[in-house]
Structure 1
Amino acid sequence: MKQLLNFAKSAATASALMLLISSCSKDLNRPSPSIKTNDEKTGSSSTTPRAGTLLWSDEFNGTSVNTANWNIDNGNPGVNNEKEYYQSANATVSGGFLTITARKQSVGGQPYTFH
């Protein structure tokens, strides 16, 4: 039962991470925020549009993880009492999506694999 709870925690953490990553994309249908300024001499105010600047992105084109953008860990770092063994085979790219899979699979002395 404890192993099942640990697996559920790992799956929930992975889901939360994917939600965080997907929520970082810019909504192109929403207007950019504006800056409201006041002219002290005339007393008038104006609104200046402000565009956002994309700092980094990865569209997951191709069939594998772009290792120039991502580090893929393998093994178990031995911290946080983790019960999973990280392996690159659990991270796949297809159709513009990164898929990270957790499996009940014994590798490296750990009962689960993940990435």
Structure 2
Amino acid sequence: MAAQRVCAEAELAVSTAMKVVLDGKPIAVVKDSAGQVHAIGDTCTHGDISLSEGFVEDSTLECWAHGSKFELATGKPLNFPAYEPVPVYTVTVDGGDVFVDPDAVITP
């Protein structure tokens, strides 16, 4: 499937995340502190918790429930209790719009 428009880039403030569901997959679309847009799986691998409700710090997204931080570029957890990565999806910003391809999982 091709990339799908999820929002206008202007809708994403720096250091915030928003949840979208594409083809049944919950995805957190995040603008990090440097202004780069990322898309990672929205479900914490430690528990069934929405990561988009967590905290963005620099290039990480922290689960609000148990404190696991995930690297936005790789999906890898940086601390316990999570030890499995979340998927990372291809993001394109074009004409002020953010597009995510739910079938294009990046494997670092």
Question: TM-score of the superposition, structure 2-length normalised?
Answer: 0.28
Structure with bigger gyration radius: 1
**Greater relative CO (CA pairs within 8 A, separation 6+):** 2
Question: Given the two structures, how large is their TM-score scaled by the length of structure 1?
Answer: 0.26
Q: Which has the higher helix share?
A: 1
